[in-house]
Homo-oligomer: A and B are copies of this chain.
Amino acid sequence: MRRDARGGRRHTGAARALLYAHAPRWGRALVARLRGRRPLFVCTIAHTDTSRIPGLSAAGATPALRELTPAADAEALYYGRARCLHGVPSNPLGPPGPAIITIAALRLARIPCLVVDAGTRVRPQAPTVLLGERPGACITTGRAVPNAAELFARGRLLGRQLAGCADYLVLAESVPGGTTTALAVLLALGIDATGRVSSSMAENAHALKEATARAGLAHLAPAAVAADPLQAVAAVGDPMQPVVAGLLLGAVGRAPVLLAGGTQMAAVLALARALAAREGMVLGPRRVAIATTRWVLTDPTADLPGLVAPLGTYPVLGTALSFARSRYPALRRYEEFLVKEGVGAGGAAVAATLAAGVTPGQLRRAAERVYERLTADDA
């Protein structure tokens, strides 16, 4: 930050690159501590059969391709494109998925990444840390993730090790249908999340999501969740949630954590906070924040800060990245909220700014180059 002739602050591009949507004072303090430090990006992938309910998810061009989305995102992180499908997972209306942003951000700032498989139907053709072999069932069954406790324990063990590998962790996800499982888990944990979770579609199917969540919650006794918050996941969550909550709690004593995602990460944060409380610990707001995209923060159909507020003064950060001035019509459609977040795109962008001063303009151009390479393959 420099001062101009009138003594006022003239923000550099990097300073303007970040948005502070909740607990901005804590957010700025965390940003100051992490600037120039070395992050490790960890993307946890999972499948939930909840994504098979028609109309819930657009994280994939077709229902059949959506089953491949977690694996394809993981492959794209390593290879710059998927192996099990062409390009990267896309929205049915055409825009490429958020993996193009993540790939661009990690490469620009030379941030290392690892993929964790919490339970998938299709395994990536790429190196992954295998923590669970069981995909999530549909949450309407009320028995979505029976191995939630084991996933949490393994995530925590791994988080302890990974915290020694970096100055801070950026924890991302790829889970089609994940905002519905987030809604259900938030409701199970007593957070008023109705109408507040985001969506992979411009038209957020709030009514369908709520009906789905309520069908699952009917199987769950509130007393069970009070005794063990993992029961919320076991009944109506997805396999990513206990793994990332475990990574967070395993790491946070040794390294700060950015939860890279939208409202799905509010559910992870609520879960981790409840699990810490069960052990008599407080998950303080000094060492954990949510980092997401401008599209999530300005999503007219969702309210991420409103989900985080009842949890505490956890910062919600955002990247100012915009595709409004992109030369590619498909990317400009992000500004219509056709794609908002996923594969930790927002958190990767924030980390790239913190680690290497990457500006939104540089990141847009790098994402365009990733997209160009994918479409050049089509020719």
Chain A residues at the B interface, C-beta cutoff of 8 Å: 40, 78-79, 110-114, 116-117, 126-131, 154-155, 157-158, 161-166
Residues of B close to A113: CB separation below 8 A: 161
The minimal Cβ–Cβ distance linking A134 to chain B, given in whole angstroms, is 14
B157 and A110 contacting across the interface, CB-CB below 8 Å: no
**Quick one: which of B110, B116, B127, B154 contacts A126, CB cutoff 8 A?**
B154
Across the interface, do B129 and A127 meet the contact criterion of CB distance under 8 Å? yes
Give the interface centre of A126, A157, A161 by most chain B CB atoms within 10 Å.
A161
**8 smallest beta-carbon distances between A and B, as pairs:** A112-B164, A165-B165, A127-B158, A130-B130, A112-B161, A129-B129, A112-B165, A127-B154
Contacting pair B128 A163 (CB below 8 A): no
**Are B157 and A127 touching (Cβ within 8 A)?**
yes
Q: Give chain B residues whose Cβ lies under 8 Å from the Cβ of A127.
A: 116, 129-131, 154-155, 157-158, 161
Min CB gap A21→B, angstroms: 29
Inter-chain contacts of A158 with B (CB < 8 A): 127
A78: B residues at CB distance < 8 A: 157, 161
Interface centre among A130, A154, A164, A166 (most CB of B within 10 A): A164
Cα-based distance from A129 to B162 in the complex (angstroms): 13
Residues in B neighbouring A129, C-beta threshold 8 A? 114, 127-130
